Amino acid sequence: MRFATKQVHAGIEPDPTTGSILTPIYQSTTFVQESVDRYLEKGYSYSRSGNPTVQALDKKLTELEGGAACASFGTGMAAIHAVLLAFLNAGDHAVISDVAYGGTYRLCTKVFTRFGVEFTFADTSDPEDVKKSMRDNTRLILTETPANPTLKLTDIAAVSAIAKEHRVPHAIDNTFLTPYYQRPIELGGDLVIHSTTKYLDGHNATVGGAVVSATDELHEKVAFVQNATGSIMSPQVAWLTLQGCKTLTVRMDAQSANAMAVAKFLEAHPKVGTVRYPGLPSHPQHELATSQASGYGAMVWFEVEGGMAAGKAIMDSLELWTLAENLGSVESLVTHPVTMTHADVEEAERKRVGITDGLVRLSVGLEDVQDLIDDLEKALEKA
């Protein structure tokens, strides 16, 4: 099956009892066993260890990413937490993208370091920097590409080759592009992480996460942590995410087309300085974006003359663009990373990796693109 067919049908079968075309919401803690000798004969006992609705989403995401198995979590951060717990022990070291979601940075530097885990935040856009960052005790490479919020890219195949050389797993956060545009496992990656809250849901309706593993052995390690810590996805969230997945391709294509138009408008505006969108030839890694993904996504960032004050004035003047921390929804959102998504990253570290005070992040939605541009133009006039 091709991708668009998989997004509708993968992991889903008519309910055997009623014929329902939608997977039921099995809102049950407990599953009755036939007898002691036939324990787990039907596959379920307690929803922390497995639920039919969640399993349907696991199967769908596994097929969409081309992996061996998937574990769905209560949040995207729970998914990242599980990967770190599954592969890192006290005294171990991990290489992390120097530009990543602020919550990932916080988890590494404020939580795992307390237990003797070491991290190097490397420029993973440069494979040589990744090589230099590897140590004898390195047990994991975690990259985010495109990176949040700067949209810096990592060559997945090149970094995966380094990981294999050192016999460590390479985990890739694929939230921004989704399996529709980018499939890291096909490029050599070992684990694919999603905040399903974003494009897979697409409607600002749920919070969730997922880890798709390339092999059953890797999945068993992640699933063990999931069951042990209880960081599971609820059946209701899984059901809603299943519905969101069915329209992923049409939403991504439309939002990406809108993003390209918005990026071109901003790049031509006299009050706008830097604009970054992987689909623009001006993006420093445009060729890599084109070679390792089939689309450019719907995230854009820009800076205006006047720095933070001008950026704040623009964000406060927008009407159609909603000021919010989320991304990937059908509604267009605007975010100021320094005060919102990356507020927990130290100022010096933000500046080192290019998260400037005046950076404005856009998550482009499904509105009429001319309305979105008109709104930006009015706000820029006031800046």
Please tell me whether the overall predicted TM-score, pTM, comes out greater than 0.75 for this model: yes
- Alpha-carbon distance 293 to 276, whole Å? 17
C-alpha to C-alpha distances, 251 to 23, 198, 302, 360, nearest whole angstrom: 22, 12, 23, 23
Q: State yes or no: is 382 an active-site residue.
A: no
- Alpha-carbon distance 189 to 67, whole Å? 10
User: Which of the following is catalytic: 101, 181, 199, 277?
Assistant: 101
The answer to whether the beta carbons of residues 159 and 141 sit under 8 Å apart is yes
User: Which of the following is catalytic: 48, 246, 352, 378?
Assistant: 48
Q: State yes or no: is 48 an active-site residue.
A: yes
User: Which of the following is catalytic: 60, 198, 251, 276?
Assistant: 198
Q: If you ran DSSP here, which 8-state letter would residue 30 be given?
A: B
Output the six-digit token pair for 63. Answer: 């097929």
Q: State yes or no: is 101 an active-site residue.
A: yes
Partnered with residue 299 across adjacent β-strands are 363
Estimate to the nearest angstrom the gap between the alpha carbon of 146 and the chain centroid.
9
Output the six-digit token pair for 293. Answer: 């993904």
C-alpha to C-alpha distances, 25 to 15, 44, 208, 240, 290, nearest whole angstrom: 11, 15, 16, 10, 39
Task: Give all domains of the chain, ordered by start, each with its CATH number.
Answer: 3-245 (3.40.640.10), 248-382 (3.90.1150.10)
Q: Give the residue among 297, 300, 327, 302 at the shortest CA–CA distance from 314.
A: 302
Q: What are phi and psi of 107, to 5 degrees?
A: -60, -45
Taking only the tens of pLDDT, the chain with its 383 residues reads 999 999 999 999 999 889 999 999 999 999 999 899 888 888 899 999 999 999 999 999 999 999 999 999 999 999 999 999 999 999 999 999 999 998 999 999 999 999 999 999 999 999 999 999 999 999 999 999 999 999 999 999 999 999 999 999 999 999 999 999 999 999 999 999 999 999 999 999 999 999 999 999 999 999 999 999 999 999 999 999 999 999 999 999 999 999 999 999 999 999 999 999 999 999 999 999 999 999 999 999 999 878 778 888 888 899 999 999 899 999 999 988 877 667 667 777 777 767 777 788 999 999 999 999 999 999 998 87
